[in-house]
Amino acid sequence: MNNTDNPGTNSWDKIQSGVRDTERLIGQKKYNMAMVKARQTLEFMVKCLCDKSGVMEGNLIDMIDALYDDGIISKTTCEHYHKIRTIGNKAIHEEDNSAYNANQAHHLLSQEVYTFANDYSEKRRKPAQASSARRRSDEPQHRRSSSGGASSRRRVQSSGPSFDAGSIIKPLLLIAIIVVLIFIIKMIHPGKEKAPETTAPAVSTEMTDPVPTETETPTEEPTTEAATVKYKVNADTLNVRATPATDGRIVVQLARDAEVEYVRDHDDRWCIIRYNGQDAYVAKEYLAPVTQ
């Protein structure tokens, strides 16, 4: 396994060939095969690192984690290795043929092959190994005894929840956008549309809101209330309103021949009637006196 120590060896040529084959398969739109090839190249490269670093070989997951736990590869490289492995497994077991996943696997593999050639080659590691051996021999006993638990500590820390400011900011931003949208909608539609005039069949309902009394002018009130007179509706449907205006709120709709208590005229067009103990307004042209 000494062939991986130098980029000019057969092992290095095999890794480079794997990257080129992955790129060629993507160009041929054979995305599934490209993802499988990327995983195979990764596995070979990981085995090279394990053999060179004295890490016991096993399944791909354990080998990658062992390289990271022993400080052979960085955290970023460990995450990239697992991503290439996951994409390859999806291609093998789920027959994934996604162009995006294939390109992602090729991109990560190319990046890590470059890192492998520059950071993990024997040329860069030889001086470091001697100094590393000296550091280990000079290392205090309590640090050497605790080094065996470094892997478990790192795994426990990585498995715990991590604080991510983005996970809090994003929901708050979404809530703020919803509040702004509601405010804009209320500004555009401040109230319900007025009910159009209708001649639909009469609906017999009781007045739910008291008729505003401020619309009546005190000067028009007689000194003594005149006796009410019975009138009947002389139309198919008559709107009884809270104010003397065609856009006034409709209190109720009366059918033809319904009797009302006439109080007095309000003006040339409207008169006041008594409905449910409250004053209301109707167009007096649609009233006729009740004959005895």
* pLDDT attached to residue 146: 43
Determine the distance from the C-alpha atom of residue 10 to the mean position of all C-alpha atoms in its chain, rounded to a whole number: 50
Neighbouring C-alpha atoms within 13 Å toward the C-beta of 262: 20
* pLDDT attached to residue 139: 47
* pLDDT attached to residue 248: 86
Model confidence pTM above 0.85: no
Tracing tokens 């708050």 back to the chain, one arrives at 172
Beta carbons within 8 Å of 166's beta carbon, 6+ residues apart = none
d(CA 50, CA 149): 20
d(CA 171, CA 55): 44
Beta carbons within 8 Å of 142's beta carbon, 6+ residues apart = none
* pLDDT attached to residue 158: 44
d(CA 122, CA 7): 9
Given a cut of 70, the residues of the chain with pLDDT beneath it are 1-9, 120-166, 190-228, 292
- Assigned token pair, 21: 């084959």
* pLDDT attached to residue 234: 85
Given a contact cutoff of 8 angstroms between Cβ atoms, the answer to whether 233 and 255 are in contact is: yes
When computed from its CA atoms, the radius of gyration of the chain, rounded to whole angstroms, is 44
pLDDT tens digits, residue range 255-281? 988 888 888 998 999 999 998 888 999
* pLDDT attached to residue 272: 92
| Phi, psi (degrees; rounded to nearest 5) at 6 | -135, 135
* pLDDT attached to residue 120: 65
- Assigned token pair, 192: 């319900």
* pLDDT attached to residue 50: 92
> 3-state SS of the chain?
CHHHCCCCCHHHHHHHHHHHHHHHHHHCCCHHHHHHHHHHHHHHHHHHHHHHHCCCCCCHHHHHHHHHHCCCCCHHHHHHHHHHHHHHHHHHHHCCCCHHHHHHHHHHHHHHHHHHHHHCCHHHHHHHHHHHHHHHHHCCHHHHHHHCCHHHHHHHHHHCCCCCHHHHHHHHHHHHHHHHHHHHHHHHCCCCCCCCCCCCCCCCCCCCCCCCCCCCCHHHCCCCCCCCEEEEECCCEEEEECCCCCCCCEEEEEECCCEEEEEEECCCCEEEEEECCEEEEEEHHHEEECCC
